[in-house]
Amino acid sequence: MNSFVTGRRLVRELGEWRSSAPAYKALAERIRVLLMDGRLSSGAKLPAERELSQALALSRTTVAAAYSKLRDDGFLDSVRGSGSTLQLPGRERGEHALHPGLSLDFTKATAPAYPGIQGAYANALEQLPAYLCHDGFDLVGLPDLREAIAQSYTDRGVPTSADQIMVTVGAQHALNLVTRTLYSPGERILVEQPTYPHALDTFASVGARVLAFPVRQDGGWDLQEALLQIRRAAPSLAFLMPDFHNPTGMSMSIHEREYLAAAAAREGTVLVVDETTALLDIDRGPLPPMAAFSPNILTLGSLGKLAWGGLRVGWIRGPREIMARLLRNRPAGDLGTPLVEQLAATTLLQELPSMAASRSLDLRRGRDTAVQLLRAQLPQWQVQVPDGGISLWINTESVSSSALALAARAEGLGLVPGPRFGIDGAFERYLRLPFGYSDGQLGEGIGILGRIAGHVGSDPLRMPLQAVI
């Protein structure tokens, strides 16, 4: 089913869209930016021309011309009586629906599959016959897998039993289930700024009002602002990535973890902690999980970053009373996690230390290569070196990252601009650059950035026409 974008929502997403270009071109190109970086989805229906013209206080002729340009460029499909639907060029030719025409796709912060993944699947298939007498529907997860996940938390200093674990279809599925269970209409949700884009998508899907508190590379988490928001708004939940935060790569100190856990516990806010990047350590060393500082914390995890993105197995760890609520709500969305993937994940968790060590070596190489290339080719950009995680969060100074992403796409390089990680168009001068790629891929991608950065200005819509076709 296609989603519908209201005029009010589109105005909010557009932000400051006007430029020196004619209004219809500026509007069309801003909508194209929103589609390419994922803030608007392919298949979404745009508001009618009259509705958008009223929302933007523009003439209907201007909006019609903007829609016409999007159609001419292949980004909009309009059918009389059915409205106008966004699309990415190339679908009709059978190209990759999300990123057609890209030779380098840096839109995903991922790394190559762990070398042991094939063996884990082979082992899973050998075990499968013993489970075929089972009906195959499993809402909580295989006992052996839940025991292995629980043991991994116990090993990190947080005693955990299997009945505190629910296995899910990845961490994003876990977040959706948690949000549907804990959030009630009219409540608020607290997030970091910047934050993981698909968390914002999840909260938007339930109509939540999102409040933010800053995460700064020069000062860490703004705990005073977080406390103020918790006291004033009493959010039902707060979403955090305290370990190798996506996109900044930063980690909360022990003091920050203690402070925020205590503040949330006093006000009854449930902390939802995303640990999908928690074991991507390069230089930092271990820190206690957030769950060590309060019993009223839900932790989301997965093997997607550590083992392989195609292994769609995640989990939720939390208090038993909340886990019971999640179990009651889960059948409305799905009926369990695939069995073969669970068996493979069980095998991989037995190799957790070696898997983490292997990933750390690869990430160190990629991080150091990317930093060296950026400092050589783009010395004017501010590059903070994270001690873990899978990407760099780069201050591009005067360069618009939205304009940069459009220009890079014309060169075959896919990027996600900074505003995708912020609220209300923030972080236009920031770019997330994943480094979980080969030296050759990083060299080629950063080489493209070095060539085009000088031709991209501070205005996200001011660029040579050929750069956005």
Structural domain contains residue 1: no
Domain end among 320, 351, 382 = 351
313 and 369 together in one domain: no
Structural domain contains residue 359: yes
What does the DSSP assignment read for 83-137? EEEE--TTGGGT--SSSTT-SEE-SS---PPPTTHHHHHHHHHHHGGGGTTS-S-
The CATH number covering residue 70 comes to 1.10.10.10
Q: DSSP alpha helices (H): ranges in 319-436?
A: 320-329, 339-349, 352-377, 401-410
Structural domain contains residue 363: yes
pLDDT at 17: 77
Structural domain contains residue 217: yes
CA atoms within 13 A on the CB side of 131: 18
For helices 49-56 and 7-14, the axis angle rounded to 10 degrees is 50
Containing structural domain, residue 425:
104-113+354-468
Phi-psi region for residue 251, left (φ > 0), alpha (ψ -120 to 50) or beta?
Answer: beta
76 and 218 together in one domain: no
pLDDT at 466: 29
Domain end among 327, 351, 375 = 351
pLDDT at 178: 98
Q: What is the mean pLDDT of the chain?
A: 89
pLDDT at 459: 52
Q: Is residue 395 pLDDT above 90, yes or no? A: yes
CB–CB of 196/246 below 8 Å? yes
HEC string for 229-268: HHHHHCCCEEEECCCCCCCCCCCCCHHHHHHHHHHHHHHC
Domain end among 332, 351, 370 = 351
pLDDT at 261: 96
Task: Read off the pLDDT band of 79 (50, 70, 90).
Answer: confident
pLDDT at 340: 96
Structural domain contains residue 99: no
**Exposure class string for 284-297: b at 16+ Cβ within 10 A, else e:** beebebbbbbbeeb
Structural domain contains residue 374: yes
295 and 367 together in one domain: no
pLDDT at 462: 42
Structural domain contains residue 411: yes
Mean per-residue pLDDT for 3-25? 83
Q: 10 Å Cβ neighbour count for 91? A: 16
Q: How confident is the model over 116-128, as pLDDT tens digits? A: 999 999 999 999 9
134 and 211 together in one domain: yes
364 and 315 together in one domain: no
Structural domain contains residue 2: no
306 and 423 together in one domain: no
Strand 220-221 and strand 209-216: the pairing is antiparallel
Task: Read off the pLDDT band of 460 (50, 70, 90).
Answer: low
Q: Is residue 463 pLDDT above 50, yes or no? A: no
| Highest-confidence segment of 65-69, 346-350, 401-405 | 346-350
Mean per-residue pLDDT for 441-454? 95
139 and 253 together in one domain: yes
pLDDT at 97: 40
Q: Is residue 95 pLDDT above 60, yes or no? A: no
Q: How many independent structural domains does the chain possess?
A: 3
Tell me the two tokens of residue 239: 């979403």
pLDDT at 458: 53
286 and 166 together in one domain: yes
The CATH number covering residue 452 comes to 3.90.1150.10
CA distance 370 to 36: 24
51 and 84 together in one domain: yes
Least confident segment among 55-69, 89-103, 158-172, 208-222: 89-103
461 and 399 together in one domain: yes
Q: Is the pTM of this model over 0.85?
A: no
332 and 358 together in one domain: no
Task: Read off the pLDDT band of 457 (50, 70, 90).
Answer: low
321 and 393 together in one domain: no
- Residue 327's Cβ-count burial label (10 Å; 0-12, 13-18, 19+) is middle
